[in-house]
Amino acid sequence: MIFKCVNCGGNVIYSPEKAGMYCPYCDSDESGEKAQGAGFTCISCGAPLEVEEFTSACKCKYCGSYSILEERVEGEFTPHLVLPFKVGKKQAKEKIVEQFKKKRFIPSDFLSEAKMEKMEGNYVPFFMYDYDCKYHYEGIGKKVRVWRSGNTEYTETSLYKVERNMDVDFAGIPVDASKGMKDDMMDLLEPYDYQALEQFQDKYLSGFLSERYNMGSEELSIRAREKAKKDAESMIKSTLTAYQSVKTESDEANLSLKDTKYSLLPVWSYLYEYGGKKYEFHLNGQTGKLVGEPPISTKKVVAYSTTTFLGVFAILNFLRMILEVI
Ligand SMILES: [Zn+2]
Ligand SMILES: [Zn+2]
């Protein structure tokens, strides 16, 4: 299915800038109607669509129209919620340029318009879990007192048994349900502002790529539980500031699942190949937060470091910068 313009027949897409449907061909708003097709062919031009096992929205390689595969956003695959893109393609590109334009050793075509234009917005499938959590913590807190009398320095170390109980409700712990997206990168894209979540409507997918969930919510709940436990632990630790250090003796989180929601979250992805290696950059489509590891052009590095020893420092600085970007 595609959204077709009633004025000109072009492909109507959801525009993050306008926060509504828009036809880029005749520059009109809210002019789309659904056009149904059969099988995996593009309704605009008739070409076969490249559809993989989990694809639920894709772009035609030939005419650039965006199709939505209805059977993959229906029934058990209907998302409960969607977080519409707020950051448009232009702004996403600007964010990446801004981040990398001043960095040395980046391959020269990394920020080229031709490469960056290939960037696509993805609605990534997530499950969001609500848990009631009862957390019990036991540890040993250490207090150290140091004082001086004459020429002697005294140190007194006191150990305290620390015990805490906490009841906490976690709402909407997100776990990505896409095998293709790296879990650590998806985690780093957080946080999203979930207040902006909306009831799912297929029009939001027009203009973007999407997948239905690749794994079930039960299977993925292991990661949600780990996140809940980790968050509970850091909440407890934040109440233990009176001690210089606290050693955990035991902790236990009893989690009961209250609700699970299947949601689509917006991510801009820039895939770049350099020296036979693939590099991925992902940008939170709501907040603009960027994660990824930039490629280093070895040619440039060598050219620079043979001229001056400073090059070595520059490389070290650059590596540190990579870590900061991530
Ligand atoms: Zn039009
Ligand atoms: Zn087409």
Ligand 2 centroid to residue 59 C-alpha, Å: 8
Region 80-86 average pLDDT: 97
C-alpha angle 259-263-268 in degrees, rounded to nearest 5: 150
Ligand 1 centroid to residue 23 C-alpha, Å: 5
Confidence at residue 38, expressed as pLDDT on a 0 to 100 scale: 78
| 46 and 59 Cβ atoms separated by less than 8 Å | no
Question: Any idea which ligand is nearest the CA of 41?
Answer: 2
Residues with Cβ within 8 Å of 205's Cβ and at least 6 positions away in sequence, in order, are 14, 56, 57, 66, 68, 73, 123, 264
The residue written with tokens 């990534």 in the block is 124
Q: Give me the chain's average pLDDT, please.
A: 88
| 59 and 65 Cβ atoms separated by less than 8 Å | yes
Q: Return the domain boundaries, the chain.
A: 129-173+217-261
Confidence at residue 101, expressed as pLDDT on a 0 to 100 scale: 81
| pLDDT tens profile 96-134 | 898 888 776 778 788 888 889 999 999 999 999 999 999
Ligand 1 centroid to residue 86 C-alpha, Å: 22
Confidence at residue 45, expressed as pLDDT on a 0 to 100 scale: 94
Q: How do 152-176 and 245-274 pair as beta strands?
A: unpaired
Percent of the chain at pLDDT > 90 equals 67
The secondary structure element, H or E, covering residue 317 is: helix 310-325
Ligand 2 centroid to residue 63 C-alpha, Å: 4
| pLDDT tens profile 141-190 | 999 999 999 999 999 999 999 999 989 899 899 999 999 998 888 888 88
Residue 47 is given by DSSP the state: P
Question: Any idea which ligand is nearest the CA of 12?
Answer: 1
Report how far residue 122's alpha carbon sits from residue 245's, in angstroms, rounded to the nearest whole number: 43
Region 80-101 average pLDDT: 93
Report how far residue 194's alpha carbon sits from residue 200's, in angstroms, rounded to the nearest whole number: 14
Task: Please say if the pLDDT value at position 42 is more than 50.
Answer: yes
